[in-house]
Amino acid sequence: MSSAESHVFRLPRPLRLENGSVLPHVEVAYHTYGQLSPARDNVLWVCHALTANSDVLEWWPGLVGSGCHFDPSEWFIVCANVLGSCYGTTGPLTPDPVTGEAAFQQFPLVTIRDMVTVHEALREHLALARINTLIGGSLGGQQAVEWAVQRPDLFENLVLLATSARHSAWGIAFNEAQRLAILADPTYHQATPAGGAAGLRAARAVALLSYRSHDAYGRTQTDADETKTTDFLASSYQRYQGDKLVARFDAYSYVTLSHAMDSHHVGRGRGGVQAALGRIRARTLVLGITSDVLFPPQEQQLLARYIKGAMYAEMDSQYGHDGFLIETAQITHFLERFYVQTYVH
């Protein structure tokens, strides 16, 4: 495959979800970049976060792309849009091929394990017997750690950023607050493509408080005009970010994917988190962010503690959780240290 290609893969059989529901027809949108080496040992698989898509060059500039650490001239890069999203993979707005109707709020519960099942089907389709590096941050990191637990012999290297072994009560509470905003929008229950837009706008404003930090808002959204009593920069920023998400995402996928995050627990049915993480065989780099309030550093420290031989590092960042998307120079620095022992291309 040549550089920067978008594809759609249809699963060859119905997908049974973890909760017992069955999706009879599942399509996966994915991107590939670069070419497989003759030895097929240069595969980088990127798992994306909540509202991202499969075009990783679009949302992770500075880390993936020409001249970056993960350069398509050296790596064969795969990124698949997750199950339940609205960027080409089967989700709540996907018309049923038989009835022509979308499921909207009736779309079944999807878990992180279901997302990994779809990734695994795509990997088999691509005939990738070995993956050099699996990387993901936030919800992407949840997918990556789950996949590494399921298939310990598949991955040579694992890179986890701003994520966890189990979604915390704090994270679930943030997600529930966002869903309450969406469900309070009467249009969500009308099952139309634009349903829940006002609720989604409010949900995004809630989410931003977990993605950023007190200091980041203080630096960028504090008004210079000290006489103001209304129409503050911070208020307009929240509205602006809400509008931006509504223009590119939908409320039904947002509810679906936030529930998927809540489901994340690598220890479920495996004797607990420590036992599950003990299955991982990949060389692992875990990166935390000092100012991350959604996935605080202690959650990354736990991953590093129970994954055998894991390297842990912490990024000092003012950007909060979003630092995993922004601090690409720091990420690159730690990746270079991590790969120096075995990086051979």
What is the per-residue pLDDT for 239? 97
Same domain as 102, residue 117: yes
Same domain as 136, residue 210: no
305 is a domain residue: yes
Which has the closest alpha carbon to 316: 220, 213, 224? 213
What is the per-residue pLDDT for 344? 42
Q: Which residue of the set 54, 85, 138, 317 is catalytic? A: 138
Same domain as 299, residue 191: no
Same domain as 60, residue 99: yes
Phi, psi (rounded to 5 degrees) for 80? -110, 135
Structural contact between residues 110 and 256, judged by C-beta atoms closer than 8 angstroms: yes
What is the per-residue pLDDT for 14? 98
Instruction: Write down which residue in 231, 259, 287 finishes a domain.
Output: 259
Structural contact between residues 188 and 180, judged by C-beta atoms closer than 8 angstroms: no
321 is catalytic: yes
Q: Quote the DSSP letter at residue 180.
A: H
Same domain as 197, residue 290: no
278 is a domain residue: yes
Any idea what the CATH number is for the domain that residue 215 is in? 1.10.1740.110
Same domain as 78, residue 181: no
Give per-residue pLDDT as tens, 264-320. Answer: 999 999 999 999 999 999 999 999 999 999 999 999 999 999 999 999 999 999 999
253 is catalytic: no
Any idea what the CATH number is for the domain that residue 44 is in? 3.40.50.1820
Instruction: Write down which residue in 240, 259, 278 finishes a domain.
Output: 259
Same domain as 45, residue 156: yes
Same domain as 286, residue 330: yes
Same domain as 104, residue 11: yes
2 is a domain residue: no
Same domain as 198, residue 221: yes
C-alpha to C-alpha distance for 249 and 260, rounded to whole angstroms: 16
23 is a domain residue: yes
Write b or e for each residue in 251-275: b if 16 or more Cβ atoms lie within 10 A of its Cβ, otherwise e.
Answer: bbbbbbbbbbbbbbbbbeebebbee
C-alpha to C-alpha distance for 216 and 303, rounded to whole angstroms: 27
Give pLDDT < 50 ranges for the chain.
1-2, 343-345
325 is a domain residue: yes
Give the annotated binding-site residues: 204, 322
Q: Quote the DSSP letter at residue 187.
A: G
Instruction: Write down which residue in 259, 282, 305 finishes a domain.
Output: 259
Q: How many domains does the chain have?
A: 2
Asked whether the CA dihedral 248, 251, 253, 256 is positive or negative, the reply is: positive
Same domain as 254, residue 206: yes
115 is a domain residue: yes
Residue 50's domain spans which residues?
Answer: 7-168+265-341
21 is a domain residue: yes
Q: What is the dihedral of CA 319, 322, 328, 333, to 10 degrees?
A: 70
What is the per-residue pLDDT for 2? 43
Phi, psi (rounded to 5 degrees) for 61? -65, 145
125 is a domain residue: yes
Same domain as 162, residue 115: yes
Write b or e for each residue in 137-154: b if 16 or more Cβ atoms lie within 10 A of its Cβ, otherwise e.
Answer: bbbbbbbbbbbbbbbeeb
Q: Which residue of the set 114, 265, 292, 317 is catalytic? A: 292
∠ CA(23), CA(116), CA(83), 5° rounding? 45
Give per-residue pLDDT as tens, 17-43. Answer: 999 999 999 999 999 999 999 999 999
Give the annotated binding-site residues for substrate: 204, 322
